Chain A
Amino acid sequence: MLSTFRYPKFDYIRPPEIAEGRDGHYPVIVVGAGPVGLTTAIDFARQGQKVLLVDNDDTVSIGSRGVCYAKRALEVLDRLGCGDEMVAKGVSWNVGRTFFREEEVFSFNLCPEPDHHRPGMINLQQYYLEDYLIKRARQLPGLEMRFKHNVIGVTQGAHAATLRIETPDGACTLTTDWLVVADGARSPIRTMLGLDIDGKIFMDRFLIADVVMKADFPTERWFWFDPPFHPNQSVLLHRQADNVWRIDFQLGWGADPETEKKPENVIPRIKAMLGDDRAFELEWVSVYTFQCRRMNRFNHGRVLFVGDAAHQVSPFGARGANSGIQDADNLVWKLKLVMDGKAPATLLDSYTDERGFAADENIMNSTRSTDFITPKSAVSKTFRNAVLDLAEHHPFARALVNSGRLSVPSFLVESRLNTPDGDDFGGSMVPGAPMDDAPVAAPRGGSPWLLGHLGDGFRVLYYVDDADGLPPATAQALAALADGPIPVEALVVAARGTAPGGLTTLLDTHARIKARYDLEPGTTYLARPDQHVAARWRKLDAAAIRAALARATCNA
């Protein structure tokens, strides 16, 4: 098979514990250098936290695997410093088309709103993402990566977890204050700790073929229900980087994976789809089944589970890596506050609550997609086909066509970290909302996008029409928010002017922030380090901000 990507090989380095014949202790260890473990370790290191990342392999993801990275994951990667590389190499797309038999029944646009930095989705082979993350990780002091380190035993006590790790030079023992487990769907550590994960297996098989070809198909997601070239099943076509195209054929439960993977069986399927005269080469073939399941809790004392280790969904909707990256985004700031003694360990329960809520939403949406794509009964199939028939001419039916509800962030409306609204607001930036992006001009420098100024720490957004007219007392009150044990940086959002006293001013050049956040002069938002709304008010009230900050960090 062809190869458009050269797999890097990372050096194994003999660990000091083995060289010196001793045990080692680390403040935080992350197990698993996939997208989620890498995101976690990078986020810690960026915040000045020493972190050890161990992985049992010595290269990146074999095969393209997760290929769709959603807007929200890209925004997290922007915060980590990898977003530009991803978007430059990836294939950006917003439009999806759905076909039923021979007809196109409708199309959708993931990002119909203008003035967002990132597209709805990019397609990029998982090995590129991991490659970029590893390069980023290598730039960060305090982040140590160890390859060919296989965890073979785990125990935990009240104050630490103990890992037994096998290396090419023998085994060693490491202890850690906090263990973040990102070792994937089969999570050996989950099994070693005897923890359950519940859900269901879906009785279906799918064939993935990565095909290298020169094709002038538009950069869109094409999804077929019951096409003439693959009757009674579904097919998905996606473009990736390097002229690699992902084709996903539904096979049914009865298919034999080993037989289906053979090129002599795969190639005729692709020829039936593309026509006989198009030249292509196979790059990677895989047959998969899937489960939808989650752990009851993601935090267990000193051990925290992220990504597929904690929850799994069907691939329809790209909710695997995308939700795992958001797990890391949600967890790291909380764990860092706990490690620094600035928040109680109960803050970690909110990690389970919030990401469990997101996992339930992801499982619900991907299960619904699966049930639409693979109807379980004759009546279910009749309804599905009726929806597809009606969709061509009737808008209501288009809204019911479900070929995968693509990954979007959860609105964490039930979170105990939110301060409920006391004032009236329009729009959707409710407490718990993932914050909308918008273009800004930043006279003192920095990103031309709102989200580029949010994240890493708590921020207050304070709106005035003219920042020049900000009263000195207000400017002082805003600046003083930076003084507490958990500092809050104030950002003045304005239509014009520059705020006094060295406060950062963000000019709402397209009036999108005003519209999306329903801003009026005096409107104040408290933003969490993971770019979710914690609280909002119509007037600046420093005491209310302190109370909301305490609530958002379980210090209330």
Chain B
Amino acid sequence: MALNTQPNLFEPGKRYFRAFSPGDDFYEALIDTHRDLSDAQSAMVNARLILLLANHVGDISVLREAMRIAREGV
């Protein structure tokens, strides 16, 4: 499976009438996850989050592709 870079966010059981809503729901939850944390704590949360999501994705070829894109131009 290739890395999906098309919009792909949704919440089961939730009906969306506007295309921007699922992405905005996610982004708000992401920023809320970091609320009131120090920079060091946020870096730790991000590392843990990546590890959890990587395990969920499972397919290492997909993860390699994501890691390559993430590093590009940084």
A and B bind? yes
In chain B, positions 36-54 with a C-beta closer than 8 Å to chain A are 37, 39, 42-43, 46
Task: Check A377–B34 contact: CB distance below 8 A.
Answer: yes
What 0/1 pattern do residues 480 to 491 of A give for CB contact below 8 A with B? 000000000000
B57 within 8 A of A: no
How far, in angstroms, from A357 to B42 measured CA to CA in the complex? 33
Pair B31/A389 contact, Cβ less than 8 Å: no
Contact B39 A378 (CB under 8 A): yes
The reply to whether A411 and B6 contact each other, CB–CB distance below 8 Å, is no
**Among B15, B23, B37, which residue has its beta carbon within 8 angstroms of that of A399?**
B23
A378 to B28: give the CA distance in the assembly, Å.
15
A218 at the interface (CB under 8 A from B): no
**In the complex, which residue of chain B has the Cβ closest to the Cβ of A433?**
B17
- Chain A contact residues: helix, strand, loop or mixed: helix
User: Which A401-433 residues have a C-beta within 8 angstroms of B?
Assistant: 402, 405, 408, 411, 413, 428, 433
Known: A389-B73, A395-B7, A396-B8. Is A371-B31 also a contact (CB below 8 A)? yes
Interchain CB contact under 8 A, A396 and B24: no
The one of A371, A378, A395, A408 in contact with B18, judged by C-beta atoms closer than 8 angstroms, is: A408
- Which residues of chain B come closer than 8 Å to A447, judged between CB atoms? none
CA distance A388 to B20 in the complex (A): 16
Contact A371 B28 (CB under 8 A): yes
Could you say which of A383, A389, A394, A395 contacts B30, with CB atoms under 8 Å apart? A383
Which residues B53-73 have CB closer than 8 A to chain A? 69, 73
A413 to B7, CA, bound (A): 25
Q: How many residues of B contact A (CB 8 A)?
A: 26
Q: Which of A394, A399, A428, A433 contacts B20 (CB 8 A)?
A: A399
CB contacts under 8 Å to B, within A346-378, are: 365, 368, 371-372, 377-378
Report if A394-B5 is in contact (Cβ < 8 Å); known contacts: A378-B42, A399-B19.
Answer: yes
| In contact, A400 and B17 (Cβ under 8 angstroms) | no
Contact B42 A368 (CB under 8 A): no
The bracket for how many chain A residues form the interface is: 20 to 34
Taking a contact as CB atoms closer than 8 A, the residue among A379, A390, A399, A428 that contacts B39 in the complex is A379
Residues of B within 8 A of A372 (CB): 27
CB distance from B19 to the nearest CB of A (A): 7
Contact B17 A411 (CB under 8 A): yes
Smallest beta-carbon distance B33→chain A, Å: 9
Cβ-defined contact, B39 with A402, below 8 A: no
B27:A402 contact, CB within 8 angstroms: yes
Q: Which residue of B lies closest to A389 (CB)?
A: B73
| Chain B, Cβ-Cβ closest to A386 | B70
Residues in A whose Cβ lies below 8 Å from that of B17: 411, 428, 433
Q: Which residues of the other chain, B, contact A411 by a CB distance below 8 angstroms?
A: 17
Closest to A434 in B: B17
Complex CA distance for A390 and B46, rounded to whole angstroms: 18
Task: Report which of B6, B9, B26 forms a contact with A395, defined as CB distance below 8 A.
Answer: B6
Is A243 an interface residue when CB atoms closer than 8 A count as contact?
no
Residues of A within 8 A of B24 (CB): 365, 368, 400, 402, 405
Tell me how far the C-beta of A512 lies from the nearest C-beta in chain B, rounded to whole angstroms. 18
Q: A377-B42, A399-B19 are in contact. Are A394 and B69 (CB under 8 A)?
A: yes
- Closest chain-A Cβ to B30's Cβ sits at a distance in Å of 7
CB distance from B41 to the nearest CB of A (A): 9
Question: How many Å lie between the Cα of A168 and that of B46 in the bound state?
Answer: 64
Query: A232 in the interface, Cβ–Cβ < 8 Å?
Result: no
Interface status of A380 (Cβ within 8 A of chain B): yes
Q: Are A379 and B5 in contact (CB under 8 A)?
A: no
What residues of chain A lie closer than 8 Å to B5, measured between beta carbons? 394-397
What is the distance, in angstroms, from B36's C-beta to the closest C-beta of chain A? Answer: 9
Are the C-beta atoms of A396 and B27 separated by less than 8 Å? Answer: no
CB distance from B46 to the nearest CB of A (A): 7
B residues within 8 A CB of A390? 69
Task: Write the chain B residue with the least CB distance to A390.
Answer: B69
Chain B residue with minimal CB distance to A428? B17
Q: In the complex the two chains form, what is the Cα distance from A42 to B46 in whole Å?
A: 54
B10 to chain A minimum Cβ distance, whole angstroms, is 12
User: Are the C-beta atoms of B34 and A368 separated by less than 8 Å?
Assistant: no
B residues in contact with A400, CB < 8 Å: 23-24, 26-27
Q: In the complex, what residue of chain B is closest to A409 when comparing beta carbons?
A: B17
Q: Are A379 and B20 in contact (CB under 8 A)?
A: no
Q: 8 more A-B contacts (CB under 8 A) besides A383-B31, A396-B9, A397-B5?
A: A368-B24, A371-B31, A379-B34, A387-B27, A399-B19, A400-B26, A405-B24, A428-B17
30 A-B pairs in the complex with CB atoms less than 8 angstroms apart: A365-B24, A368-B28, A372-B27, A377-B34, A377-B37, A377-B42, A378-B39, A379-B37, A379-B46, A380-B31, A389-B73, A390-B69, A394-B5, A394-B69, A395-B5, A396-B4, A396-B7, A396-B8, A396-B9, A396-B23, A399-B9, A399-B19, A400-B27, A402-B20, A402-B24, A402-B27, A405-B24, A408-B18, A428-B17, A433-B17
